[in-house]
Amino acid sequence: MSKYIAAIDQGTTSTRCILFNHQGHIVSVGQKEHEQIYPKPGWVEHDPTEIWKNTLEVIAIARIKASATAADIAAIGITNQRETTVVWNKRTGKPYYNALVWQDTRTSDLVSKYEKEGGLNQFRDITGLPVSTYFSSLKLKWLLENVEGLREDAEKGEAIFGNIDTFLIWHLTGGAHGDGGIHVTDVTNASRTQLMNLRTLQWDREMLAAYNIPEKMLPAIKSSSEIYGHVNNEILPGVPVAGDLGDQHAALVGQTCFEPGMAKNTYGTGCFLVMNTGNELKTSENGLLTTISYKFGNEPVKYALEGSVAVTGALVQWVRDNLGLIKKSEDIEELARSVEDNGGAYFVPAFSGLYAPYWRNDARGIIAGLTRYVNKGHIARAVLEATAYQTVDVVKAMEQDSGIELASLRVDGGMVMNQLLMQFQSDILDTQVVCPAVAETTALGAAYAAGLAVGYWQNLEELKQKWAIAQTWNPNMEAEKREGFYNGWKKAVTKSYGWME
Ligand SMILES: Nc1ncnc2c1ncn2[C@@H]1O[C@H](COP(=O)(O)OP(=O)(O)O)[C@@H](O)[C@H]1O
Ligand SMILES: O=P(O)(O)OC[C@H](O)CO
C-alpha cells in the first residue's frame, strides 16, 4: 500500500499541501501565501495563475520534506476557498480576469436589483441561499457582462468556469496540454455557486436563466469522493485525484461530524459554523444557509445548515497590514492581554456587509463605544471579541433552527491558536470549546475523502476512531457580565446598518 494521502488546501490567504499517513497524522507540510488584490473599495481578487504556481510549489515542498515519490502517494484530495470565481480559456489555460474572491462586493448593485424584483429569498427553496454578493452566481454574471468577448467564448464552450477546486483539478489532470484537463466540481462546491438545485444535485435551468449563465461553461457535478482523473503533470504523475470538498465541508469531515446534529466552527479568514443535518434538507428560519455536508461516492447526500461570517481572521490581518498595530497575526494576543477588557469598545467588521444571520449588504465596518480611555489594547480586544460575538450570533440561530443545544463546540482553523480568543469564546457562549489533536481538519477532510475513494481507509467508523482532543476551554464568566458584553455587541451591530445606500 502507498504510504500517504496528499491534501491540497487552497485557502483565502494561503495554499497548503499536507501529506497524511494512515493514522491521519501530518507527515509534512508545504505552505505559501498569495497576494490579496484590492483594486477598489470592496473589490477583492486573486491571481489564479499565482495560485496554480503556488500549488505546484507547495506539493514539491511537502514531497521533499517527506522524501516521497509519486508511488508513495495513494491519492490527492482537494479542498478550497468556496464561491471564488475563475473563468479561463480551455485551449490556452489563460484566465480571462483575476479570480473574484468570495468577499468581493462589486455586485452590490445587482443584489439590490434582484431584491427589488423578487426579494432576497426568491431562490432559497432551490439553492438554500439568499441573493448576495457572496456566492459565485453574481460574480460570474458580472464577469460575463464586463469582460470583453467572454460571453461569446462561453457560449461556444471555449471559456469555462470553475471555483478554485475545478481550476486546480483541471490543471492537475492535464490543463491545456494533450487531451486537456478534466472539468469537474463536487456537490459541496456546486452548492455554493447558487446555480445547483439542492434536491437534484444538478445545475438548475431556472437559476441559469435567472442569472443568464451559459450551461456550456459549467463543470460536471460529481460526488466529493471518487476518482475524477489522474495527475498528468510531472509533480505527481499518475496519482488519482479522488477527493473534492469546499473547505468548510472538508473541515466537517475532518472533525468526523458524521452524525446529524454534530457541528464544527472553523476560524480562518472568516468563520464558518456547519451542522450536519443528515438526510434532511432543512430550511432556516433564522438567517442560516442550507447547504451540503458531503456526498461520498454512491452513498446518499448529507445536508447541512451553515452560519457563515465573512470577517474574523481577516480583521486581524487588517489590524496588521492596514493599521500596522502588530507585525504578525499572533501578536494580537499579547496586545489584547495588555488590558483587562474591551474598555467599552466594539468592532463590527462589516467590511463585506454582514453575512449570517443578518445578511445586510448595506452594513459597513464600525468601531462603536469610543472614549478617550480606549487604547490600542482595547481595540485588539474588540477585534478578537468580534469573532466570538459573531460566533454566538450563528450558534443561537443554529440552536433555534435545529432544536439542538450544542453541548460543546468543535473548533479548528488558524485562529484557534489564540488562547485568549478561545477562552473568551467559551465564556461568551457559556459552552465548552474543544480543539482536536489534528487541527488541520480542512486538509484532513479532503484527505479522508480521497482515501475513502481509493480504499486507503475503509469506512467512516475507521475515521471516527482517529478523532482525539488536544485542548478544551471551559466557560468561566458570570451570567450578568456575559449578557452585558453581548448586549453591547448587539447594539453595535445595529449601528453598522444602512451605511451603503
Ligand atoms: N494567533 C492568532 N490570533 C488571531 N488570529 C490569527 C492567529 N493566527 C492566525 N490568525 C488569523 O487566521 C487566519 C489564517 O487562518 P487559516 O485557517 O489559515 O485561514 P484561511 O484558510 O482562511 O486562509 C488569518 O486571517 C490570520 O489573521
Ligand atoms: O479560505 P477560508 O478558510 O477563509 O474559507 C473561505 C470560505 O470557504 C468562504 O466561503
404 alpha carbon – ligand 1 mean position (Å) = 29
Mean pLDDT to the nearest integer, 195-215: 97
Helix (H, G, I), strand (E, B) or coil at 45: strand
What pLDDT does 1 receive? 67
The reply to whether 263 and 210 lie within a common domain is no
| Percent of the chain's residues with pLDDT above 70 | 100
Q: From CA 240, how far away is CA 454, in angstroms rounded?
A: 8
Nearest atom (ligand 1) to Cα of 313: 25
307 lines ligand 2 (CB under 6 A): no
Is there a domain that residue 417 lies in?
Answer: yes
Q: Is the separation of the CB atoms in 411 and 267 below 8 Å?
A: yes
89 labeled part of a ligand binding site: no
The reply to whether 235 and 138 lie within a common domain is yes
Convert the pLDDT of each residue in 117-165 to its tens digit: 999 999 999 999 999 999 999 999 999 999 999 999 999 999 999 999 9
Asked whether the predicted pLDDT for residue 501 surpasses 80, the reply is no
| pLDDT classification of 14: cutoffs 50, 70, 90 | very high
Q: Which of 79, 80, 82 to mutate to test the pocket of ligand 2 (most atoms within 8 A of CB)?
A: 82
For residue 11, what is its C-alpha cell?
485557502
284 alpha carbon – ligand 1 mean position (Å) = 28
Lowest mean pLDDT among 218-227, 319-328, 394-403: 394-403
The reply to whether 151 and 288 lie within a common domain is no
What pLDDT does 177 receive? 82
Q: Which of 232, 249, 266 is the last residue of a domain?
A: 249
370 lines ligand 1 (CB under 6 A): no
Q: Which of 9, 13, 81 to mutate to test the pocket of ligand 1 (most atoms within 8 A of CB)?
A: 13
Q: From CA 102, how far away is CA 334, in angstroms rounded?
A: 30
The reply to whether 221 and 314 lie within a common domain is no
- Number of residues assigned to the chain: 501
Pairing between β-strand 408-412 and β-strand 432-436 as defined by DSSP bridges: parallel
For residue 341, what is its C-alpha cell?
477588557
Q: Using the structure block, give the residue that is written with the C-alpha cell 500549488.
A: 55
The reply to whether 271 and 392 lie within a common domain is yes
81 alpha carbon – ligand 2 mean position (Å) = 4
Is there a domain that residue 456 lies in?
Answer: no
267 lines ligand 2 (CB under 6 A): no
Is there a domain that residue 463 lies in?
Answer: no
What pLDDT does 179 receive? 74
Asked whether the predicted pLDDT for residue 280 surpasses 90, the reply is no
75 alpha carbon – ligand 2 mean position (Å) = 23
The reply to whether 348 and 487 lie within a common domain is yes
Q: How many domains does the chain have?
A: 2
The reply to whether 10 and 65 lie within a common domain is yes
The reply to whether 303 and 173 lie within a common domain is no
Ligand nearest to the CA of 33: 1
Q: Is the separation of the CB atoms in 279 and 261 below 8 Å?
A: no
Report the CATH number at residue 356: 3.30.420.40
Structural domain harbouring 284? 256-436+468-500
Q: Which of 188, 222, 249 is the last residue of a domain?
A: 249
Asked whether the predicted pLDDT for residue 305 surpasses 70, the reply is yes
Is there a domain that residue 27 lies in?
Answer: yes
Q: pTM for this structure?
A: 0.93
Is there a domain that residue 391 lies in?
Answer: yes
Is there a domain that residue 307 lies in?
Answer: yes
Q: Which of 189, 219, 249 is the last residue of a domain?
A: 249
Ligand nearest to the CA of 416: 1
Q: At what angle do helices 48-66 and 164-172 cross, to 10 degrees?
A: 60
Closest CA to 10 of 49, 41, 54, 44: 54
The reply to whether 485 and 395 lie within a common domain is yes
Is there a domain that residue 39 lies in?
Answer: yes
357 lines ligand 2 (CB under 6 A): no
The reply to whether 405 and 489 lie within a common domain is yes
Q: From CA 212, how far away is CA 337, in angstroms rounded?
A: 51
Nearest atom (ligand 2) to Cα of 12: 1
For residue 435, what is its C-alpha cell?
480543539
Convert the pLDDT of each residue in 382-430 to its tens digit: 999 999 999 999 999 999 998 888 888 999 999 999 999 999 999 999 9
Asked whether the predicted pLDDT for residue 64 surpasses 90, the reply is yes
| Percent of the chain's residues with pLDDT above 90 | 92
Which residue is closest in CA terms to ligand 1's atom 21?
11
Amino acid type, 66: A
The reply to whether 143 and 274 lie within a common domain is no
Mean pLDDT to the nearest integer, 433-439: 92
The reply to whether 215 and 340 lie within a common domain is no
Q: From CA 91, how far away is CA 159, in angstroms rounded?
A: 9
Convert the pLDDT of each residue in 163-188 to its tens digit: 999 999 999 999 878 778 999 999 99
Is there a domain that residue 33 lies in?
Answer: yes
Nearest atom (ligand 1) to Cα of 316: 27
